[in-house]
Amino acid sequence: MQSSYQFIAKGNYSLKNIRLETGFEYDDEDVIRTKTDLFCIEIEDGKIKLVKSNNPDLEAIDAKGKLMLPAFKDMHIHLDKTLYGLPWQALSPKRRTVKDMIAYEQEIIPKLLKTSVERAEQLIDLLQSYGTNFARTHFNIDPTSGLKSLENLEKALENKKDSFKAELVAFPQHGVYYTKSAPLMEEAAKLKNVNFIGGLDPLSIDGSIEKVLDFTVQLALDNKKGIDIHLHESGESGMKTINYLIDKAIENPELQGKTFVSHAFALAYLNTKEAEEIAQKLSAAKVGIASSVPFRGKVMPIPTLKKYGVNVLIGNDNVQDYWSTFGSGNMLQKANLIAELYGYESEFELSRALEFATQNILPLNNKGEQQWPKTGDEANVVLVDASCSAEAVSRISHVEGLMNKGNLFWKK
């Protein structure tokens, strides 16, 4: 991890003076405060063994009253091709389309691959410094890089295995057929470490929604993988692609809960009725959305998607690379941005917004009942300088410690 962290403990140990949320305080029906108390936590074999009343005299690691929250997850990022760690570089006004960027990648990837292991590790360090211990990362599959992006990414992840874990998406960044990446995708799909089959704007890049999605779906079915498609297209082609994936998930129940549309910016252009109709269809087919926020002045209908039970995942996407310079690596900042965009201002609403950083895990349920942590939960936590979840989201509070499967690291 970054030099700002130091390794504290692993295996079996205890912590004291851990702050946990215990319930809500109400004024009539309104939540006005989140109640907390101090506890001791026992860790064993990477799991939470026991949560018990605090004993300040116990011989244990002192958490000093820091708030314990579920560790954060970045569910859409590209660890394999960051410029993080290199000199500052803003975007070029000459590269405006995805095909412009494909041509640029074909030019620079051979050079970037020479240092991609080290830069991926530096980006992982950045994510961890903000409390993230898990990511869904896309990696390029294209004729320029072959499988080298994957190989280098796996080296970086192996070097960080004690503190970080990722699931991998084989991403044909240069199109499936536009640059003849189909054979490479077939090769990548057979690999055990690859979890999802990706895709990119099938109509504008490859000229056919049906041909590309049929290939992607069959590849996923044949290799028992999930699907995660990049879809920047808006309008008719964007909605047709989303509906086509919904139909495929309904036809193939084994894809339900494992199929995602990343970005899905077409949804940002819908009116309220249209957004509700597609949200119901996505929910029924168990097709999720992996979104980034905001999008060039447009706001995704995230509250509507959540209302109808769509699984909405959030990520940083690009962190200081040649596609975008705005990703910070901070998932708590993403939750804060969502709260601001959608007007989540009350204690209750801010506490619920934490789910966009933790990906749907919250210490308290909507009734204020404690639901995390429980005995047997994975010991993946952050220790934050905040009094409660609402404050952590609103103030983007400082992360003091990170635990990954029981391995504890603390800021120096």
3-state secondary structure 220-276: HHHHCCEEEEEECCCHHHHHHHHHHHHHHHHHCHHHCCCEEEEECHHHHHCCHHHHH
d(CA 344, CA 173): 35
DSSP annotation string for 118-180: HHHHHHHHHHHHTTEEEEEEEEE-BTTTBTHHHHHHHHHHHHTTTT-EEEEEEE-TT-STTTT
Q: What is the mean pLDDT of residues 173-197?
A: 97
In angstroms, the CA 56 to CA 65 distance is 11
Can you give the pLDDT at residue 256? 98
Residues 6+ apart with CB under 8 A from 194: 150, 168, 169, 170, 188, 225
Q: Write the pLDDT tens digit of every residue in 353-399.
A: 999 999 999 999 999 999 999 999 999 999 999 999 999 999 999 99
DSSP states of 68-89: EEEPEEEEEE-TTS--TTSPP-
Q: 263 pLDDT band (50/70/90 cuts)?
A: very high
Mean pLDDT of all residues in 138-142: 96
Least confident stretch, 102-111, 222-231, 234-243, 358-367? 102-111
pLDDT on residue 1: 44
Give the fold, CATH level 3, of 73-329: TIM Barrel (3.20.20)
The angle that helices 182-189 and 209-223 make with each other, rounded to 10 degrees, is 20
- The chain-wide mean pLDDT, for the chain, equals 94
Starting at the edge strand found earlier in the chain, the sheet holding 226-231 runs 72-77, 132-140, 165-171, 194-200, 226-231, 259-263, 287-291, 312-314
Identify which of 314, 278, 309 has the alpha carbon closest to the alpha carbon of residue 294: 314
Entry pTM: 0.95
Confidence of residue 2 (pLDDT cuts 50, 70, 90): very low
Residue 51 has pLDDT above 50, yes or no: yes
3-state secondary structure of 400: strand
So what's the architecture of 5-65+365-411 in CATH?
Roll (2.30)
- Domain(s) labelled CATH 2.30.40.10 in the chain stretch across 5-65+365-411
- The answer, yes or no, to whether residue 327 has pLDDT greater than 70, is yes
Place of tokens 């954060």: 72
CA nearest 304: which of 284, 280, 321? 280
- Where residue 98 falls among pLDDT bands split at 50, 70, 90? confident
Are 364 and 70 contacting, i.e. CB atoms less than 8 angstroms apart? no
With pLDDT > 70 as the criterion, what percentage of the chain qualifies?
A: 98
Residue ranges of the chain assigned to CATH 3.20.20.140: 73-329
User: pLDDT tens for residues 21-46?
Assistant: 999 999 999 999 999 999 999 999 99
Tell me how far apart the terminal alpha carbons of the chain are, to the nearest angstrom.
Answer: 12
Contact at 8 Å (CB) between 331 and 128?
no
